[in-house]
């Protein structure tokens, strides 16, 4: 999402604040053959979120990001999030998805861009880790490159096959209700305790449906 001016920020916030009240924000879904009905975003049945397993963002033997995915057997959460994205895309705040690529719902567990010194040091020395070899070069990933979230390129990749296998059946959280939808600034910011988190520009509460 490109919000380079105060006007665009306010415009995106206005759309966000109207998500659960505006009748114009309606995704379309197919039902019974070719018949199409309109369903308001606020009427989509949202499941409680359970996060399980562990996946690499790139090739498992050379990745910089590991993430977990929500269980969504009936695609209710996917439909809700895709509808949100479509709303902002139609309003001109987001670019249409590239052909063949769909919205990936995930929670990041590991991103080596946040390893101390990785952003500043682009050296290529190898390091030993508990899950395999970590290398200071770029691994092959989706689109042919390895990158972190945000503006910074990840320079530290590692072989994640052992850790992916270890956490294949692990549950990170279970039956958590989706409480808020937020617009966040790209790039995590450091907090006083040394941890990093995304800065929230605006957020709304999700009503109990």
pLDDT digits 0-9 by tens, 153-192:
557 999 999 999 999 999 999 999 999 999 988 877 888 7
Residues 86 and 27 sit within 8 Å (Cβ to Cβ): yes
Rounded to the nearest 5 degrees, what angle is found at the Cα of 163, between the Cα atoms of 53 and 131?
165
Average pLDDT, rounded, for the chain: 77
Break the chain into its structural domains and give their ranges.
Answer: 47-94+104-114+155-178, 179-208
Q: Considering the chain, what percentage of its residues have pLDDT values greater than 90?
A: 36
More confident residue, 172 or 46: 172
Of 29-43, 49-63, 67-81, 174-188, the one with minimum mean pLDDT is 29-43
Q: Examine the pLDDT at 143 and tell me if it is beyond 50.
A: no
The pLDDT score that the predictor gives to residue 150 is 47
């Amino acid at each position: 999402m490109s919000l380079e001016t105060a006007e665009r920020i306010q415009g995106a916030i206005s759309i966000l604040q109207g998500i659960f009240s505006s009748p114009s924000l309606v995704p379309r879904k197919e039902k019974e053959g070719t018949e199409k009905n309109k369903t308001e975003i606020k009427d989509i049945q949202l499941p409680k979120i359970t996060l399980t397993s562990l996946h690499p963002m790139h090739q498992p033997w050379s990745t910089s990001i590991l993430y977990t995915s929500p269980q969504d057997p009936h695609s209710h959460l996917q439909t809700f999030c895709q509808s949100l994205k479509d709303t902002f895309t139609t309003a001109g705040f987001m670019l249409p998805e590239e052909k063949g690529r769909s919205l990936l719902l995930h929670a990041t567990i590991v991103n080596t861009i946040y390893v101390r010194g990785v952003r500043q040091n682009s050296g290529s020395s190898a390091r030993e880790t508990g899950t395999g070899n970590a290398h200071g070069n770029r691994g092959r990933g989706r689109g042919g490159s390895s990158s972190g979230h945000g503006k910074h390129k990840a320079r530290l990749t590692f072989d994640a096959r052992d850790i992916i296998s270890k956490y294949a059946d692990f549950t990170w959280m279970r039956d958590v209700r989706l409480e808020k939808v937020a617009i966040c600034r790209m790039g995590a910011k450091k907090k006083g305790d040394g941890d990093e988190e995304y800065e929230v520009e605006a957020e709304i509460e999700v009503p109990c449906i």
